[in-house]
Structure 1
Amino acid sequence: MPSTGISVSCLMALVVLVAVVSADKAPTICNVGVSELGHCLPAITGDKPSWPTKDCCKVMHKVNLPCLCNYKDKFLKYGISPKNALALPKKCGLKLPKQCRGKY
């Protein structure tokens, strides 16, 4: 199981990336705030991620899933398991867009 430091560093890397892209606004990605996406970190990191919380699923219902799928090839770079991340929408009662499907 990754240490908290790894999860925090993954979130910070994502915050920095998004902040650079949208420096004139609060950091957002695919229609949700980066800090909101942090609610889902425990559900997508580690060998045995926890089940997504209600707060995480609320975020997933707001996120633009096709947009988020565009980041799937970058998940590993930020310490996020693509397999866990791509399983998250279904766990929150959403259908995974076709462009998100693939081998990981």
Structure 2
Amino acid sequence: MKKFAVIPLVIAGFLLSGCNSEPSEQDIYTAMNKVVAQTNAFMKSMAGNAVTPDMLRTLKSVKKHDCEKLSDKSYKCNVTAVADNEKRTAAVVLVMTDEGWQVVDK
């Protein structure tokens, strides 16, 4: 009988964990990496063969510190990002879209 009592608790735990829609560290990394890829593609389209690989950016890591809910589908997150050999801490605003989390201008 005790086994059956635990099942609803486990299911409720999974359902409640889905209610927290704050972006994860991986979500933020993926969204920021899309911006880096778009920037690199823009540089290649503008400069063509003049762009060398060392001119392009590579996002190495993102560390999420905290997030503040701005609306139902947007958060302002404080992160530390390492791109190439530069480490910077900044706030990024992310919005949930049909394609996943997207970084937007403030």
Do both proteins adopt the same fold according to a TM-score greater than 0.5, normalized to the shorter chain? no
Which is richer in helix? 1
Q: TM-score by structure 2 length?
A: 0.32
User: When the two structures are superposed, what TM-score results if normalisation uses the length of structure 1?
Assistant: 0.32
Greater relative contact order: 1 or 2 (C-alpha under 8 angstroms, separation 6 or more)? 1
Structure with the largest fraction of strand = 2
